[in-house]
């Protein structure tokens, strides 16, 4: 037996629903409430299985009353009734935690189906409300979805960028120029208001363009990929070449990834010191001028007499 409390501001509607539901063998109306505050009090006292809540209640509206009821009695299930023309109320009812939503114009048979479905721990939405919710969801998601903002080529490039391919690799894969890929990348960043590959990767995973564990093109998934460890120590092996050649850094798989720095670094010399060295070298190499000496062995001829 499903115990029900009816919350509605009009007494004739409460009495009419009570009379109709009493005719069902598996349903029993145990209480009524004319406003939201009274509904919260009645539910806390009687603890029914289901509450038929009208959204437009005086004092405390049905949405706030639903929140308070579920906060005090989480095991209680709420079915709200309202006009399906209000988009804000439809979203608010679902956010409040209601398990069912019906328009006021629904038939009694549909109300009974909703009560039995919610009593079996299922969600029930009227077909009219379901169509309006789906349309509202598409309208709200269409503004920021990758499938509406980006073209087919831009979505393809977004996926390849999020999977770790470079611009050159994407250009070779798609048989286009590198400049074309760069232009598409700029357009993608502008349309999505993103600022880097990290944000683009998160966006692609969130929108379903790329999976978190999608295998890359080398057979290793993104979560299993580790940074390459470089081996930069030079080993004096004659097969590696003469000692003057710098070693090659390799990854853990044995692949060459580029030249590594040698342990011995060449000391940088400032231009001023270089000029001083060149000046001192040129001064040492300069040839000193030779001094010519007169010969004293021969005297000039003259009448001078020698002393005896």
Taking a C-beta distance cutoff of 8 angstroms, is the pair 39, 7 a contact? Answer: yes
Give me 187's structure tokens: 């357009």
- Per residue in 199-210, pLDDT (tens digit) is 998 888 887 777
Residue 112's pLDDT is 94
Write the secondary structure of the chain as one string of H (helix), E (strand) and C (coil): CEEEEEECCCHHHHHHHHHHHHCCCCEEEEEEECCHHHHHHHHHHHCCCEEEEECCCCCCCHHHHHHHHHHHCCCCEEEEEECCCCHHHHHHHHHHCCCEEEECCCCHHHHHHHHHHHHCCCCEECHHHHHHHHHHHHHHHHCCCHHHHCCHHHHHHHHHHHCCCCHHHHHHHHCCCHHHHHHHHHHHHHHHCCCCHHHHHHHHHHHCCCCCCCECCCCCECCCCCCCCCCCCCCCCHHHCCCCCCCEEECCCCCEEEECCCCCCCCCCCHHHHHHHHHHHHHHHCCCCCCCCCCCCCCCCCCCCCCC
Residues of the chain falling short of pLDDT 50: 220, 225-249, 251, 257, 259-263, 287, 298, 305-306, 308
Give me 227's structure tokens: 């940074």
Instruction: Scan for tokens 């993104």, then name that residue.
Output: 222
Of the chain, the end-to-end C-alpha distance in Å amounts to 170
CATH number, domain 2-139, options 3.40.50.2300, 3.30.450.20, 1.10.3720.10, 3.40.50.1000: 3.40.50.2300
Nearest-CA neighbor of 63 among 32, 85, 94? 94
Residue 151's pLDDT is 85
288 burial (CB, 10 Å; 0-12 / 13-18 / 19+) is: exposed
Residue extents of the structural domains in the chain: 2-139, 146-207
CATH number, domain 146-207, options 1.10.10.10, 1.10.3720.10, 1.20.140.10, 1.10.1040.10: 1.10.10.10
- Per residue in 121-154, pLDDT (tens digit) is 999 998 888 888 777 766 665 556 676 788 888 8
Give me 98's structure tokens: 């209601």
Give me 238's structure tokens: 């004659």
């Amino acid at each position: 037996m499903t115990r029900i409390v009816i919350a509605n501001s009009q007494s004739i509607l409460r009495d009419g629903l009570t009379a109709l539901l009493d005719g069902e063998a598996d349903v029993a109306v145990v209480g009524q409430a004319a406003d939201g505050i009274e509904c919260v009090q009645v539910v806390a006292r009687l603890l029914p299985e289901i509450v038929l809540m009208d959204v437009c209640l005086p004092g405390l509206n049905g949405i706030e009353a639903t929140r308070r009821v579920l906060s005090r009695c989480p095991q209680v299930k709420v079915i709200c009734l309202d006009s399906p023309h209000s988009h804000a109320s439809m979203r608010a009812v679902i956010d409040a935690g209601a398990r069912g939503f019906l328009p006021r114009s629904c038939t009694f048979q549909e109300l009974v189906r909703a009560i039995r479905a919610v009593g079996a721990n299922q969600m029930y939405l009227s077909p009219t409300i379901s169509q309006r919710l789906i349309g509202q969801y598409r309208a709200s998601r269409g503004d920021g979805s990758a499938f509406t903002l980006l073209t087919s080529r831009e979505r393809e490039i977004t996926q390849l960028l999020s999977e770790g391919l470079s611009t050159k690799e994407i250009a070779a894969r798609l048989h286009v120029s590198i400049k074309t890929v760069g232009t598409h990348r700029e357009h993608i960043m502008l349309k999505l208001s993103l600022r880097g590959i990290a944000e683009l990767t998160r966006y692609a995973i969130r929108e379903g363009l790329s999976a978190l564990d999608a295998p890359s093109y080398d057979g290793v998934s993104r979560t299993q990929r580790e940074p390459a460890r470089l081996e930069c120590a030079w080993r004096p092996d004659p097969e590696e070449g003469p000692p003057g050649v710098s070693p090659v850094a390799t990854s853990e798989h044995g692949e060459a990834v580029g030249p590594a720095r040698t342990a011995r670094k060449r000391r940088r010399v400032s231009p001023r010191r270089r000029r001083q060295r060149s000046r001192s070298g040129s001064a040492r190499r300069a040839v000193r001028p030779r001094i010519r000496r007169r010969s004293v062995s021969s005297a000039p001829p003259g009448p001078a007499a020698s002393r005896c």
